[in-house]
Amino acid sequence: MAAVPVLRIEGLTTELRSSKAARVLAVDDVTFDLYAGETLGLVGESGSGKSLTCLSILRLIPATVGKVAAGHVMLEGKDLLALPEEDMRAVRGRRISIILQDPMTSLNPVLRIGDQVGEAIGLYRALKGKPLRTAVIEALRAMRIPAPAERVDVYPHQMSGGMRQRVGAAIGMAGPPAVLIADEPTTALDATVQAQFLTLLKDVQRQTGLAILFVTHDFGIVASLCDRVAVMYAGRIVELAPVAELFERPRHPYTEALLRSVPDLEADVERLYSIDGHPPALDALPKGCSFAPRCPLASEVCRERKPPRVETGAGHWAECWKLVENVG
């Protein structure tokens, strides 16, 4: 792993507009590093802030919805949050790009595949005409799309879900980027196609040194694809660790609960484990630890004060008061 991160997120904070509260923190002081050739998994329940974190990094939060209120997004030493919008457009897609969750909604249904991939390649590589078409065919071939010379002329609805997702990857890799954000790109795919797509991402990463931020609910994907994993809850990263370390020694009660929620196919149980309660509304967060109302280990200090970040090992930290009591 390189000594200098290709992407460094420091104190990223995003506020959403609300008629109920003066300040709604959807992303709260998020901090992590991402290195070339590394895959960092970002996990958590729906509504925990994963996708908003990705959109905040790319400065894609609509002004009518909210704003990035604080922090730094350092890409290759350049703070993206400080760039004028024109300069940001030159970086977005070229050096940092995103694959979205549902290719059927992210691809334009009335444009041919070649036009959509070609728009990105033409913009980033200044190609036109036959050279552009050749580059599009090569991009589709690199994503292992069969018969790419014919596929350039079809529409998204004429392709399978797995092939559409590969088209999304071809657009995302057009730059080519140093960082790829994959926001639950396998959710709509069946198990076989999902495995093929993940293998493809691994191969591309080995060939290019691509850094990947992979958003998912699936701990199976985390185990097979990721080097490290960050666990989000109510807009905050509550634990970050190397993958093997997190599976063997989770330190935050929320992480422990998520791992217990993964079904064990070899266990004979009458009822699967689930976490009691629901994630808090962002405009009505608890005073102390946001997970305290659902946590079986919560004490009075958990309900009254935000927990500090505690390092529990090399590259492993969590935000939990029970760790403070056990440290030292």
Cβ atoms of 163 and 214 within 8 Å: the answer is: no
pLDDT of 23 = 77
- Summarised one tens digit per residue, pLDDT across range 4-55 is 999 999 999 999 987 776 778 999 999 999 999 999 999 999 989 999 999 9
Q: Which residue has the higher pLDDT, 106 or 138?
A: 138
Cα–Cα distance, 218 to 263 (Å, whole number): 11
pLDDT of 2 = 53
Cα–Cα distance, 316 to 229 (Å, whole number): 10
pLDDT of 328 = 40
pLDDT of 227 = 97
Residue 154 DSSP code? S
pLDDT of 3 = 79
* 260: pLDDT strictly greater than 60: yes
Which tokens go with 180? 């790829």
* 59: pLDDT strictly greater than 70: yes
Nearest to 112 by CA among 169, 164, 154: 154
Q: How confident is the model at residue 58 (pLDDT cuts 50, 70, 90)?
A: very high
**Mean pLDDT, residues 284-303 taken together:** 94
On whether the 7-95+177-265 domain is CATH 3.20.19.10, my answer is no
Indicate the residue type of 10.
E
Q: Which residue has the higher pLDDT, 100 or 84?
A: 84
pLDDT of 296 = 92
**Mean pLDDT, residues 130-142 taken together:** 95
Domains of the chain, residue spans: 7-95+177-265, 107-175
Q: Which residue has the higher pLDDT, 165 or 232?
A: 232
Q: How confident is the model at residue 325 (pLDDT cuts 50, 70, 90)?
A: low
Please give the mean pLDDT across all residues of the chain.
91
What are the φ/ψ torsions at residue 284 (nearest 5 degrees)? -145, 50
Query: Given the structure tokens 């996990």, which residue do they identify?
Result: 43
Q: Which residue has the higher pLDDT, 103 or 308?
A: 308
pLDDT of 105 = 79
| Burial of residue 154, with CB atoms counted within 10 A of its CB: 0-12 exposed, 13-18 middle, 19 or more buried | middle
Query: Given the structure tokens 């799309």, which residue do they identify?
Result: 145
pLDDT of 1 = 53
Give percent of the chain above pLDDT 70. Answer: 97
| Burial of residue 256, with CB atoms counted within 10 A of its CB: 0-12 exposed, 13-18 middle, 19 or more buried | middle
**Mean pLDDT, residues 174-193 taken together:** 88
Which tokens go with 7? 């992407």
Nearest to 103 by CA among 151, 56, 39, 172: 172
Cβ atoms of 168 and 184 within 8 Å: the answer is: no
Determine the angle formed by the axes of helices 191-208 and 161-172, rounding to 10 degrees: 20
Residue 284 DSSP code? G
Give percent of the chain above pLDDT 90. Answer: 73
pLDDT of 263 = 73
* 327: pLDDT strictly greater than 50: no
Nearest to 201 by CA among 226, 218, 175, 223: 226
pLDDT of 273 = 77
Determine the angle formed by the axes of helices 129-142 and 113-125, rounding to 10 degrees: 110
* 252: pLDDT strictly greater than 60: yes
Query: Given the structure tokens 């484990």, which residue do they identify?
Result: 273
Q: Which residue has the higher pLDDT, 181 or 267?
A: 181
